[in-house]
Amino acid sequence: AAGRWPAAPDMINHMSFNVAVLASHTGTNLQALTTAGQQPASDFNVTLVISNNSGSGALAHAREQGITGIHLSGRTHPDPEALDQTMLAALREDDVDLVVTAGYMKKIGPAVLDAYQDRIINIHPALLPRHGGPGMHGRHVHEAVLASGDTLSGATVHHVTANYDEGPVIAQQQVPVLPGDTPDTLAARVLQAEHQLLPATVQALARAHTD
């Protein structure tokens, strides 16, 4: 596919900014990233997809795109430390420069967090620090935004740390909360912002890395 380099086992220096995406469900942000990464002017490649859900749309998309996809979860590795080390080995084997969590419903283990410090980012469907933290995912976020009376919501890309949604913010994109919004209508509008913000942020990070 366009934008992908051959994964020759004897390659010493990879020639692109390699991105791994961790996703649990449909993987629409993954799809936005792979599409952006395949553009001629792109400075990054999505080269690895990891999911804790063997039947996820994210892994199906990886198969369709010829991207390496791996199922890693408590089923494949009941010991959390073994799961953590296996994920780290997969990232290193693929020469990953940046890890993106996009709808990934599990905490990342300490070994991966340490090895990829400041190189793991997440996309969150609200304007952090508002409406983040444990339990704040998916529909729950949009319900909380509407209950709060906020007139703005949006998407946030931030660094991943040991605690949910507490890492430094990298970029945000605002969307209006409209009269009559439901969690579903707000979610759809925020998702459009996510699909713009995440690829643009990854591209900026890749460009900064290669400059």
Question: What would the two tokens of residue 109 be?
Answer: 């283990």
Helix (H) or strand (E) holding 155: strand 152-159
Query: Among all chains, which residue has been given the structure tokens 């300490």?
Result: 110
Question: What would the two tokens of residue 177 be?
Answer: 């909360």
Among the options 61, 124, 131, 195, which is catalytic?
Answer: 124
- What residues have CB less than 8 Å from 38, skipping those under 6 apart? 1, 2, 3, 4
Q: Is 195 a catalytic residue?
A: no
How many secondary structure helices (H) and strands (E) does the chain include? 6, 7
Q: Are 197 and 124 in contact (CB under 8 A)?
A: no
Cα–Cα distance measured from residue 112 to residue 42, given in angstroms and rounded to the nearest whole number: 26
Q: Residue 68, class by beta-carbon neighbours within 10 Å (0-12 exposed, 13-18 middle, 19+ buried)? A: middle
Question: What would the two tokens of residue 28 be?
Answer: 């629409």
Pick the closest to residue 187 from 126, 121, 106 (CA basis). Answer: 126
Q: Which residues are catalytic?
A: 124
